[in-house]
Amino acid sequence: MHNNIWNCNCEGVVRRDFLKVGALGYFGLSLPALLKNQAAQAGTNKEKSCILVWLGGGPSHTDMFDLKPEASSEYRGEFNPIETNVAGIRISEHLPTLAQHADKYALLRSVTSPEGSHERATQYLNTGYKPLPSMEYPSYGAIVAKEKGQAKGVPSYVTLLNPVDAHGPGYLGGEFAPFDGGDPSRPGYDVRDLKPPIGIPLDRVDRRRTILRDMDDAFRRLDKSSAKIASMETYFQQAYDMVYSPAAREAFDLGREPVAVRDAYGQTNVGQSALLARRLVEAGVRFVTITSGGWDTHQQNWARLKNNLLPPVDKGVGTLLSDLHQRGLLDTTMVIVMGEFGRTPKINTQRGGRDHWPHCRSILIAGCGIQGGQVVGASDDKGAYPAERPIRVEDLSATIMAKLDIDPTKEYHAPNGRPVKLGATGEVIKELG
């Protein structure tokens, strides 16, 4: 699963490892710059958090959450639906764990958009805005990092596995970029940027901090109007806290989990990432994005889903929902499972797959007061278009903001001075509760 073939889509875009935080990374920022988001970001209801499971490439909705067993063979597919623990809701036979927890989540079966290319659709679904060449919108994680601030000793926004550009901070700037947590399923997993520098004792680091503080004081005396200089000591203090306090290291330490728990989540990259995500939100992280690649199934759709893609997501997300519920965390932790679009209802018989289809897809959403055990919206008899209650990407965006106690009508100002609402122009999905 670490092979790059699982991290590429049909447009040749590789989901890159980036946003390295201890040194210069994709956005050219250091750990202190990243941690700048704590300054003046007191916010309210800081306990709310979100775990986004991003299925990069576009998951097939008619083979996962919205099967059409009565459709003709050119649409139906190879999988059968099974009953869940909620009467009347059926999902794929290859999602048995999620079927046991349907009471904890809602399925949106009529989400629609016009964007059918990977890059544009990925930007759209992760920001709530259609991409523009003149504007780079912030991801939901970056907005939450800005609005909610940072718990002491842990980052506010973390990405796991293979984050994409759309998971970045957009016009908010590098200080709201995610902390790259890597792949927790790798042998000997360790988060490099949470270790003190090798061979540099603590007293030496303290001396360097004192020198830096003295330099900042000197610059402040020369330029009392410089807010950036005045605040840098705060940012370095936050960086110091993360590296030298145990909170972050403990949160990222999966070795503290019993083997039985790790096995329950599944010894896969998605499963171990889901477990780590639970540990992170417990520690105070506000937003975690897990990126599972390989869902661009133009060919061998059913073999790839059955053998490689569905089992880790089923076990990892199903166990995550159960674990959050048992720990009393689901009330304050939103869980979202989605990709950039669905797949064509009509089968590509030459290649045994399904192609891009943005006009209708399914999204799983749970937690933060969302009423589980329900389906919102419906597709037509082929799964091609919404038959009732169309849900726009903007509506999803407004709902995410509202459920995380962020006013979706709040406005930011982009670098060009343009006012931009956080929840775009959407309406909160009232059926979710």
pLDDT at 343: 98
pLDDT at 227: 42
User: What are the distances in angstroms from CA 189 to CA 61, 258, 369, 379?
Assistant: 33, 16, 34, 42
pLDDT at 32: 45
Check if the beta carbon of residue 113 is closer than 8 Å to that of residue 393.
Answer: yes
pLDDT at 245: 67
pLDDT at 47: 79
Q: What are phi and psi of 106, to 5 degrees?
A: -110, 150
pLDDT at 35: 39
Burial class (CB in 10 A: 0-12, 13-18, 19+), 181: buried
In this prediction the pTM is 0.85
Q: What are the residue ranges spanned by the domains of the chain?
A: 4-195+251-432
Check if the beta carbon of residue 80 is closer than 8 Å to that of residue 317.
Answer: no
Check if the beta carbon of residue 146 is closer than 8 Å to that of residue 157.
Answer: no
pLDDT, averaged per 10 consecutive residues of the chain (433 residues), comes to 55 46 36 40 60 98 98 97 98 98 98 97 97 94 93 90 95 91 93 63 57 56 49 51 74 94 98 98 97 98 98 98 98 98 97 97 98 98 98 97 95 90 90 97
Check the CA dihedral 371-377-383-386 and report its sign.
negative
Architecture per CATH, domain 4-195+251-432, reads as 3-Layer(aba) Sandwich (3.40)
pLDDT at 149: 87
Beta strands in 255-373 (DSSP E): 287-292, 333-338, 342-343, 356-357, 361-366
Degrees, nearest 5: CA angle 190-195-199: 125
- Three-class DSSP category at 289: strand
Check the CA dihedral 27-30-34-36 and report its sign.
negative
pLDDT at 369: 96
Which value, in Å, is the radius of gyration of the alpha carbons in the chain? 22
pLDDT at 113: 97
Q: How many C-beta neighbours within 10 Å does residue 398 have?
A: 25
Q: Which of 172, 163, 122, 179 is nearest to 143 (CA)?
A: 172
Q: Which residues contact 393 (CB under 8 A, 6 or more apart)?
A: 111, 113, 124, 125, 128, 424, 426
Task: Give residue 325's region: left, alpha or beta (phi > 0; psi -120 to 50).
Answer: alpha
pLDDT at 68: 98
pLDDT at 416: 87
pLDDT at 142: 96
Half-sphere exposure of 335 (CA within 13 A, CB side): 30
